[in-house]
């Protein structure tokens, strides 16, 4: 389960609208309380995929290294990542599965013709074979 406030959902949707018709991407930061990932911050990241930005996103290895280093020094955990699916449903693709890691939550927002349609959350199973839906718990407040 992952928490998201209305303002955090709006921030993800706004990022997807701004980058449409290309995919946006960002990192989800926070803490784990019990079995719940509590989102404290969303941070936009650059989509560095060399081509196919309409259907692919890639976070630079340097940026990933910095995020993991920051996690070690601050204690704020990388809970997962978000990205948009321009003119496609908010369900993970095979490409998404190939680049995902178990435990992290992957939030996908569908942007249809520049308008947010649906937002979903997913976790890759421990075998890396398939995504399972992750429950989004709505909270008050914001990032």
DSSP assignment letter at 90 = S
Domains of the chain in start order, with CATH, are 2-137 (3.40.140.10)
- Of residues 71 and 48, more confidence is placed in 71
Calculate the alpha carbon distances from 114 to 23, 40, 69, 81 in Å: 11, 27, 35, 21
Q: Over the chain, what is the mean pLDDT?
A: 93
Distance of alpha carbon 79 from alpha carbon 135, whole angstroms: 14
The pLDDT of residue 129 is 93
pLDDT range class, residue 48, cuts 50, 70, 90: confident
Phi then psi for 119, rounded to 5 degrees? -130, 125
The pTM (predicted TM-score) of the whole model is 0.93
Q: Confidence class of residue 43 from pLDDT cuts 50, 70 and 90?
A: very high
């Amino acid at each position: 389960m992952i928490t998201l406030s209305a303002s955090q959902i709006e921030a993800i949707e706004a990022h997807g609208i701004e980058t449409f018709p290309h995919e946006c991407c960002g990192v989800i930061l926070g803490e784990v309380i019990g079995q719940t990932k509590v989102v404290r911050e969303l941070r936009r990241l650059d989509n560095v995929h060399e081509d196919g930005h309409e259907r692919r996103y890639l976070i630079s290895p340097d940026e990933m290294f910095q995020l993991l280093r920051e996690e070690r020094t601050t204690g704020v955990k990388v809970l997962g990542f978000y990205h948009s699916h321009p003119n496609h449903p908010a369900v993970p693709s095979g490409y998404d599965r190939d680049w995902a890691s178990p435990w992290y939550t992957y939030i996908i927002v569908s942007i249809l013709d520049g308008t947010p349609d649906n937002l979903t959350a997913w976790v890759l199973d421990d075998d890396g074979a398939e995504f399972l839906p992750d429950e989004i718990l709505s909270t008050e407040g914001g990032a």
